[in-house]
Structures are given as C-alpha cells and as structure tokens.
Amino acid sequence: MRFLNILEYPDLKLRIKAKPLSPDETLESIPLIKDLAYTMYKADGVGLAATQVGVNKRIIVIDISRKTVKDKVFSLEEENILNANKDLIVAINPQIIFKEGNIVYEEGCLSIPKFNADIERANEIKVRALDLSGKEVIIEAQGLLGVVFQHEIDHLDGILFIDKASPLKRSLYNASLKKSKVKKREKDVSYTF
Ligand SMILES: [Zn+2]
C-alpha cells in the first residue's frame, strides 16, 4: 500500500466535484481504497476523501475510533487492511438523505494544516452509499461520526470547512499562508546567494 500525497489548501484540485462510481468501478477501486485507508491511518486522521489525494471519485474512508497509532499499526501493513479494522467505514457515492438537529464541533482537516474552527452541522444524519461490494447501504450517524461524514462529503463536492468558518478566522489564516510563502521565498533567496 502507498502513502498518498495529501493536497493542501489552497490547491485548486480540492475544489473539483468528484464523480460517482458505477458498481463495476467499485471493485476496480479497491487498491485505491486500501491506499486511502492506509494514508488516513498513517496521517492520524479520522477521515479522508479521495478528493484530498487528487482522485476525482466519490469515495470516503472514516475511522473515528481514535485508537493510538500504535494500536492501529497491527493491521496497517497487512493486505487485508479493509477487513482488519472493524471501525473502518468505506462509503462510495455517499449521499445524505436525512438531517436533523444541530451540533457545533471544533473541526480540523488534513488538507488545512494548523487550522481549527467551530463549525455547525446537522447532529443526526442518514447516508445512502455503496459498500465495498457495490451493495447499497444506509448508515445512520450522529455526533462526531455525523460531523466527519458531512465534512468528507463536502470534500467530494469541493467544499472545505474553512469556507464555513468565520470570515475573520479565514482571512487571518489566508494572511498567515501568504506570510509563510514570503518567508520561504526569502529563505530560498538567501540559499541561492
Ligand atoms: Zn478535511
């Protein structure tokens, strides 16, 4: 399995709307799904969308069990990574078909390093998706699991949680990105000389 490169904001590839998979494509995508799960665990995330690794397919992986990395490593190198982690959820073509209530959670994102913000989302959701075998499943999720589903499905639509953060927080972060770019350039210049 490969550790995939995770795209970082403001990479425009993160804004591409991903395409649904046919049931046949579901089976063909298993090697990619293994890489996605592997990358999520290695990066110590609780969710990852194919969009975040530059793949234009509606696939997400989630594991909110928050086991320590050491606990997870038992199955990381195994070929059956997808079966070995019973807390791992793979959802293909996920669609929210029901939403109720509100919850505010402090979110972070592997594609937006060093940025956290309180985001309001639905507290209870139902998601219709295909599982690994291409079979349709309905998943009920609430609290953190529901939040992660909504965050990852947003990725598939090219939406980032920073878009939903307060305009002030967003502009401060954007300013800090510009600053770090300038710093890097100065450093490059000094190296050249
Ligand atoms: Zn994210």
CA of 192 to the centre of ligand 1 (A): 36
CB 13 within 8 A of CB 7: yes
Q: Where are the domains of the chain?
A: 12-166
Share of the chain above pLDDT 90, in %: 73
> CA-CA distances (angstroms) from residue 192 to 185, 186, 187, 188, 189?
10, 10, 9, 6, 5
- pLDDT-derived band of residue 190, with 50, 70 and 90 as boundaries? low
CA of 106 to the centre of ligand 1 (A): 12
For 117, how many CA atoms within 13 A lie in the half-sphere containing its CB?
Answer: 22
Burial class (CB in 10 A: 0-12, 13-18, 19+), 48: buried
CA of 186 to the centre of ligand 1 (A): 30
The tens digit of pLDDT for each residue in 164-183 reads: 999 999 999 999 998 887 66
8 is catalytic: no
CA of 135 to the centre of ligand 1 (A): 26
Look at domain 12-166 and name its CATH class: alpha beta
- What does the pLDDT read at residue 85? 76
Instruction: Please state, rounded to an integer, the average pLDDT across all residues of the chain.
Output: 89
**Active-site residue, selected from the candidate residues 120, 124, 152, 186:** 152
